[in-house]
Chains A and B, each alone.
Chain A
Amino acid sequence: MFTKDLIEDLSSNSLEEHIHKKIEEIQKKDKEINSFITLNIEDAQNSSKEIQKKIDKGIQGKLSGLAISIKDNIAVSKLRMTCGSKVLENYIAPYDATIINSIKKEDGIIIGKCNMDEFACGSDGTSSYFGPTKNPRNIDYVPGGSSSGSAASLAAGFTDLSIGSDTGGSIRCPASFCGVYGFKPSYGLVSRYGLSDMAMSLEGPGPFAKDTYGIALLLDIISGKDPRDTVTVESSKSYTKTVENFKDQDIKNLKIAYAKEFFEGVDEKIKNIILDKISKLESEGAKIEEVSLPNIKYAIPIYYLVVFSEFSSAMSKFDGFKYGHYVGGQDIVEAVSNTRETSMGIEVKRRVLLGTFITMEEFRGRWYTKALKARSAIKEDFKRIFNSYDLLIGPTMPTLPWKIGERISDPLSMYSSDILTVSANLAGICASSQPVGEAKGLPVGLQLHADSLCESKLLKGMRAVELACGGI
């Protein structure tokens, strides 16, 4: 297992050198990829010296000095947190997110803050105020979003692990487009304290890695109850063991469903690769059956209603007085308008306006509350399936990565690219994406879903697919 081997290597080789190499790579290539907004080089070098001493004594934490990049909407104390926006260009976080605390405690080395779609509003990584991130597999193509820099920094070899956030696919989409592993935990398993708000009832942080083991390792560290996030629950923290103990023959015990709705409108080349992997799993002994998710067709409108409403509320604080650039004006209304006009991108403004309109109608219980109710119909669909199956399998994205600039003018086609990923967020369940092949030289991701808080099942499925694809 790649990540596990890497940790073992680090215990006998120089950690300082390992970190130094990562920094060199970043300095050489990131001008082009643009996966980082803020680098943490000096701090990372100092940490590598400190942790090296711990390794020499055999008292290092579980991450043992692995380099980790962090999406720039997660607070790391004393580092800038821009959320990919001009609004927070100069904002220095005065505190650590709960998961950052845990990562530091286990001796992870934070190497930098990653580029992202502005305030996580985007699906391809091109809407950042700090310029688009490019796909390391082919720099003419988008890396996927919104955690574009997290996936790209990992795919480009700038880091060993990464942390992103997933509101409707923001981890899984770039994982699929860049050819790395990405994991969206169940709602409440990982603390959101320190994750800047986009749509609070849908999102949470989650890990990126080069393999299933790396995902499980981070999950053990960042999961669990946090008094600073009331929606969190306890975690078994035994995910690494689950992956380590998984044997080839365990594939036979897996009951996997696939839904025809998750293949509608999907690129033929992607469809064939995924179906091929499904047959492979079946031939290894997994039980595979077709099921139906009738309510999935409502997922996109429900998802965007919830996102716009919650987002417009979350963005209220960026008025130029408390947070964000102060521009000034005749009165408070003009000053706030000026701040928003001059420092927010088009997609952010669109979402704030739509959300404000929706929530103004809300006192009649028109949309937001109804959308919350409709979510339960989608939850029911999944509940029914997970009563009989361990996993739901399908593609992560309906298309291959597109060329940079191709879809900017068409928000609706951008929104519809989320069609396969948003349901997991609406239902609060866990889901993953992992690379299973290539088409036209671009990576193809396979998505697995498991029931809420059934992370162990999902990791077993990921490991089974990893092994079925010839992984070690």
Chain B
Amino acid sequence: MQLHEDKYKDLNLKIGLEIHVQLKTEQKIFCECSTDYINSSPNNNICPICTSQPGSKPMGVNEKALENLLKIGLFFGCKAYEKPFYVQRKHYFYPDLPSNYQRTSQPILGDGNFMGVGIWEIHIEEDPGRYELREGKVDLNRCGVPLAEIVTAPDIKSPEYAREFLRDLLLSLEYLGVIRGESGSIRADVNISIMGGNRIEIKNVNSVKGVYKALKYEIVRQKAVLQRGGTITMETRHFDEGSMITKTLRKKETVADYRYIPDPDLVPIYISPEKLQEIESVLPESPHNKKKRFMKEYSLGEEIVDALISDLYLSDFFEESAKKSNPIESGKWCATELKRRLNEKNLSVSTSKITPKHISDMIGFIERGELSVKNAKWIIEDAVDTGEDITSLMDKKNFYQISSEDTLLDIIEKVMGDNPKAVEDYKSGNENALHFLFGKVVNETEGRAEPSKTIKLLKDKLCMVN
């Protein structure tokens, strides 16, 4: 998939994302409460600090949270800022925010890139609690779970690419082991502008699918407004997951409204070059280096490599399968059919049942002429779903190709005998009759006739008829 989708080319679409993910730690960011806010009854996973009792103070920023945040930044090729950073207070009234200000750090890393999309900055902040609007109930168990906010440049040019970018970004973070697994969801603020309109921010979209739907809706809405001669003014909108549409939240919002001040309760944090080095040394190979290596080592094309490295589990999976099969073939299958099926099923190779052996075995069957490329696609789907080994799938589906000339000739003769009219038509110059007869052979073999051999034998046989 490309950054640019042709269908949006005339819109000059610019999409930027502010992505919030929960960092994986044992304890909350400023206190000793567990980050497992889900498995305790409402308002039971709290303490004076995370409920902001009068007089309580935050403890220093959780070290593990900071480490995980640095991992994310360095992995995306960001540079860490050298000067000490402050934790700031961002003031706003909301029922799930006990102090009525959220602690959020200044940017800690910036200037990185992932899948061709610029990463502007990454900072750390605290998660608020949860507010059930309809019931008017607040659960503070989540207050203080550490969050990373990743802000991208407006480099994304289509809702489809936004979806793919987010999916692959999440996979990378999961691969790095830095985000909370079971939370599964992301929260994103989505910025979008189209030619002739101002930037619109859509707040608090809670899933990858939601981001895609919100963008699709906004494009249609904004185009309609502009076509009617209206204007798109800067505003913040809310995405309703139920109806999949966006609604105006507030017209004007400025930085001033948040009254940012450095939190006087926390000393500024300095990240030493030694710390950065230490983290860098335990990081997996960066996507950038992996790309260079794959292209050189396996002679794979850029598009295939991009598709492989955007999912690090998949890139590991590919390397494993390439040990026992032709890497070019393996790369192609992993990057196209396998990835397509995984996306379709909303799975990753780490969560599906398919193994690298499935791919290498399958390629072996194709190379020996025992499996058709067309049927191989079905094999991949079944392997993803069931994990059954290739040989038994081949049997079960009766996918073994017939490539023995004797067997094929027997069938061809039978088909020709059954369809004398078609044979006559071919003789009088009707090429379509060949396709008709080929179809009959395919039907007769339940699709297992090796195509190129069948065509050749059929032609030979027809020529021999007087």
Contact = CB atoms under 8 A, between A and B. Distances in A.
Contact of B259 (A83, A88, A195, A360): A360
B34 interface: no
Nearest to B257: A360
Interface in A303-333: 309-310, 312-313, 316-317, 319, 321-323, 332
A195 B261 contact: no
B175 to A, nearest CB: 33
A162 interface: no
Given A310-B261, A336-B93, A360-B259, A316 B101 contact: yes
B133 interface: no
Given A313-B89, A362-B260, A230 B58 contact: yes
Interface residues of B, number: 31
B98 interface: yes
Nearest to A322: B98
Interface in B88-121: 89, 91, 93, 95, 98-101
A171 to B, nearest CB: 17
Contacts of B264: 199-201, 310
Contacts of B256: 360-363
Given A94-B48, A228-B57, 18 more contacts: A75-B48, A75-B53, A81-B55, A192-B265, A194-B55, A196-B55, A197-B54, A200-B265, A227-B60, A230-B267, A316-B99, A317-B98, A336-B93, A360-B256, A360-B259, A362-B256, A363-B255, A372-B262
Given A75-B55, A83-B54, A194-B56, A95 B48 contact: yes
Contact of B54 (A231, A323, A363, A369): A323
Nearest to A356: B259
Given A94-B48, A360-B256, A368-B261, A321 B95 contact: yes
Contacts of B59: 227-228, 230
A73 B55 contact: yes
14 contacts: A75-B48, A75-B54, A193-B57, A197-B54, A200-B265, A230-B58, A230-B266, A313-B89, A316-B93, A317-B52, A319-B93, A322-B99, A356-B259, A363-B260
A196 B264 CA distance: 13
Contact of B91 (A196, A201, A316, A321): A316
A229 B57 contact: yes
A225 to B, nearest CB: 12
Bin chain A's interface residue count.
35 or more
A354 to B, nearest CB: 13
B54 A88 contact: yes
A79 interface: no
A74 B120 CA distance: 43
Contacts of A391: none
Contacts of A312: 259
Interface in A355-390: 356, 359-363, 368-369, 372
Interface string A395-418: 000000000000000000000000
A374 to B, nearest CB: 15
A91 interface: yes
Q: B interface, by DSSP: helix, strand, loop or mixed?
A: loop
Interface of B: 48-49, 52-60, 89, 91, 93, 95, 98-101, 254-257, 259-262, 264-267
Contacts of A192: 57, 265
Given A313-B259, A316-B91, A97 B99 contact: no
B83 to A, nearest CB: 15
The 9 closest A-B pairs by CB, nearest first: A316-B100, A201-B264, A200-B264, A359-B259, A363-B255, A196-B54, A194-B55, A196-B55, A75-B55
Given A94-B48, A228-B59, A322 B100 contact: yes
Contacts of B99: 316-317, 322
A160 to B, nearest CB: 24
Contacts of B49: 228
Given A230-B60, A322-B98, A362 B93 contact: no
B56 A313 contact: no
Interface in A181-221: 192-197, 199-201
Contacts of A156: none
A321 B96 CA distance: 10
Nearest to A199: B264
Contacts of B57: 192-193, 228-230
A93 interface: yes
Contact of B261 (A317, A321, A332, A359): A359
Nearest to A97: B55
A231 B265 contact: yes
A156 B48 CA distance: 34
A335 B303 CA distance: 58
Contacts of A196: 54-55
A246 B83 CA distance: 45
A200 B261 CA distance: 12
B104 to A, nearest CB: 14
Interface in A86-125: 88, 91, 93-95, 97
